[in-house]
Amino acid sequence: MSNSTREHKIFAGNGSADLGKKIGEFFGQGLGGIQLQKFSDGEMAPYFTESIRGANVFLVQSTMAPAENLVELCLMIDAAKRASAYKVIAVLPYFGYARQDRKDKPRIAIGAKMVANILTAAGADRIMTCDLHAGQIQGFFDIPVDHLDGSAIFVPYLRSLNMDELLFASPDVGGVKRTREYAQHFNAEMVVIDKHRKRPNEVAEMRIIGSVEGKNVVLVDDLVDTGGTLCKAAKIIMEEGAKSVRAVCTHPVLSGKAYENIENSVLDELVVTDTIPLAQQSSKIRVLTVAELFAKAIKNITTDGSISQLFI
């Protein structure tokens, strides 16, 4: 049986139920039936309420905190394999633990590699995700990884704003490559925010490498957590004479005092996607959906099409 004639089914975990439903709609079919049984102690037991024998099964679940989201995904993968699915594709709009991609201090885990091993051991045949914290995490897997690019969502939105004197800023040295790609799309310049730390987790000094005077600045990052560094960078950019500053961050982790930090910041807006559902609404946070992007990628996999054609 060829891939094009094989049955394809999409299911969503509880952590990405709304996004999964949108992906199913853009794909052109509803979500498959799955139930999550919970024991009184919180132990989970997901099970499929329809046959998936011989089908390509796509399981949509971001693995943000709490860890139950990752455990639920692994159990869904195992259930699908035991139900004789042909291929199980784990669709992780947000790949949790990606920030733990190396040993940056002694006696610490490399969480991203560990999660890659767990998903593979659970039985995933393929991984689909978006804007990994570090691109080399793809190499932690010994199965195919489709790494989608959030710029396909953000670039059209930024173009719609018709901003002149556009300039892109990386909030740290590690994000230079990502920011440069955005700058190249718009034939614009870029600057880098350099951070100096007196001690761990405490930014003592932050300065801009380059000029932002008279510019409409866009900060680019893969995720926003507490928002402290991002908001401080925005403040310095405005103090250096920028006309406006906004940020685009694919994954809205938004923990701690993030919402308060963003509301009280000089940011015109924070543009994020729905890879992680927001815990609360904010007048400064605009959410763009990745549902159509993932639906197109799933469609291309089912037809043996190219994923790279979805990139900007």
The amino acid that residue 180 corresponds to is: R
Whole-angstrom Cα Rg for the chain: 20
* Catalytic machinery residues: 195
Using DSSP's 3-state secondary structure scheme, residue 116 falls into helix
How far apart are alpha carbons 52 and 75 in whole angstroms?
15
How many CA atoms lie within 13 Å of 82's alpha carbon, on the beta-carbon side?
Answer: 10
Model pLDDT, residue 201: 44
HSE-CB for 11 with a 13 A CA cutoff: 28
| Residue pointed to by tokens 């052109």 | 28
- Each of the 312 residues of the chain gets a pLDDT tens digit; together they read 556 678 999 999 999 999 999 999 999 999 999 999 999 999 999 999 999 999 999 999 999 999 999 999 999 999 999 999 999 999 999 999 999 999 988 999 999 999 999 999 999 999 999 999 998 999 999 999 999 999 999 999 999 999 999 999 999 888 899 999 999 999 999 999 987 655 544 555 788 999 999 999 999 999 999 998 899 999 999 999 999 999 999 999 999 999 999 999 999 999 999 999 999 999 999 999 999 999 999 999 999 988 888 886
Closest by CA position to 148, among listed 89, 78, 86, 87: 89
Put simply, whether the predicted model's pTM sits higher than 0.85 gets the answer yes
What SS3 class is residue 229? helix
Domains 8-148+291-310 and 151-288 share a fold: yes
- Give the model's pLDDT for residue 1: 54
Nearest to 95, CA basis, from 133, 124, 59: 133
Do 298 and 27 meet the contact criterion of CB atoms below 8 Å apart?
yes
Name the residue ranges covered by the structural domains of the chain.
8-148+291-310, 151-288
Q: The domain 8-148+291-310 is classified under which CATH number: 2.30.300.10, 3.40.390.30, 3.40.50.2020, 3.40.50.1400?
A: 3.40.50.2020
First and final C-alpha spacing in the chain: 33
CATH topology of domain 151-288: Rossmann fold (3.40.50)
Q: Residue 169 corresponds to which tokens in the numbers above?
A: 């800023």
Q: Identify the pLDDT of residue 3.
A: 65
